[in-house]
Amino acid sequence: LFRSVVYGFLGNFLSTWDGQNYAPLIFSLITCVKPSSYTELHSSILEPLKKIFFAFDVYTKTMCISALTKLMRNLALEEKSGSLFQTGRTSELDQPELRLESSRTSLCGEDGVDQQGSSNGEPGHEASTLDVLYRMILLLDVIIVIGMRMEDDHYLLQISSLELLQLVAEMYMKYNIPLICLPMRLIHRLLLSDCPATLSRICGIINIFRDAFVSLKSNTKKSHMLFISCATISNHQVVSAFKGTDTFNTLLLDVLGMFWQGRMFTDRKRKSDSLFSFRLPSHLEGKLKNNSLSIYMGPAFIGLAYRFLKETQREGKRVHPVQIEEVKEIYLQFLVRENFPEFMQLVNKNITCRKIRN
């Protein structure tokens, strides 16, 4: 009853709300709603919230992202609880398979994307919740990037976006939601951040995605492809475990080439488009090197690189970040000391065939 009252109130109030009065309370109420379909959620809450998002400052934008992230987390937690309850019922041992098939149909759009269902854990209900989560990710992938462009990649937006991205990465492994979705627009935008903390967090999130795809690969063999992998890229969505894995593998190669290997613009045979599959403007050709965004040459790392060189080189010696190329392993340890362990974790987890120099 409480949720119905809140939902009805927000549906009537948000369309006339000025975005300022009682903002903390209104955003708190948004996290409590339980929509029966994405269409209902979009018309009553997301549409007026989008107008507020684009009309106000970075602080309001951050509160919008935070509220929708908490809403998605609440929906995921309820979905996980319902799934565990259903699994424990001995009279419905086959129910998880039915739910996954129903979810797959909803996401692929074969029977429509707004399946209705009661809130008692029935297949239609889970399909509806999956659809809400999936389509919210697609929406936020677009509007957050637009908001970042409006606010010059403000650090508050980066922080709130990272919270959302971590939740999306944990959907499959932590919340048992049969959905792996890569918001590629948002990931690509954050990868170009000038903040080392943002880039470090992104590396940790990519490792979470990696664990999810590895688990997906083993589980699909046992469950006959009932789990779903969805990846959003520039112009289309991929609803295939194999294509989603190809997209992630390309992203992983991009990140490792960008931060570690200094191979941004090196041509490789790839099954998906690379972040760096473009031709440089004429005035940048020959000036932008492959290692321009590495963990020792990138704009986000210049301060850290010179601090490392100051500690390791004799006083008075002329130094340049490119000198770190020969001692990257030691530099990784320095980054761990500076509370950026995710870079070493990413390299250790994905590049095993290399010599570790102490």
Q: Model-level pTM?
A: 0.82
Amino acid 98: pLDDT: 28
Q: Which domain covers residue 145, as residue numbers?
A: 2-259
Q: Which of 321, 299, 320, 140 is nearest to 232 (CA)?
A: 140
Amino acid 234: pLDDT: 39
Burial 98-108 (b: 16+ CB within 10 A, else e): ebbebbbbbbe
Amino acid 284: pLDDT: 66
Amino acid 3: pLDDT: 77
Query: CB-based contacts of 76: which residues, under 8 Å, 6+ apart?
Result: 133, 167, 171, 175, 177
pLDDT along the chain (358 residues), means of 10: 82 92 95 92 95 96 98 93 57 37 32 37 60 94 96 97 97 89 93 96 97 80 47 45 75 91 68 65 70 92 96 92 94 97 95 64
Report if residue 7 sits inside a domain. Answer: yes
Report if residue 118 sits inside a domain. Answer: yes
Amino acid 4: pLDDT: 82
Report if residue 69 sits inside a domain. Answer: yes
Report if residue 76 sits inside a domain. Answer: yes
Report if residue 316 sits inside a domain. Answer: no
Domain total of the chain: 1
* Cβ proximity of 123 and 79 under 8 Å: no
Report if residue 73 sits inside a domain. Answer: yes
Amino acid 88: pLDDT: 53
Q: What does the alpha-carbon distance between residue 136 and residue 127 come to, in Å, rounded to a whole number?
A: 14
Report if residue 99 sits inside a domain. Answer: yes
Report if residue 27 sits inside a domain. Answer: yes
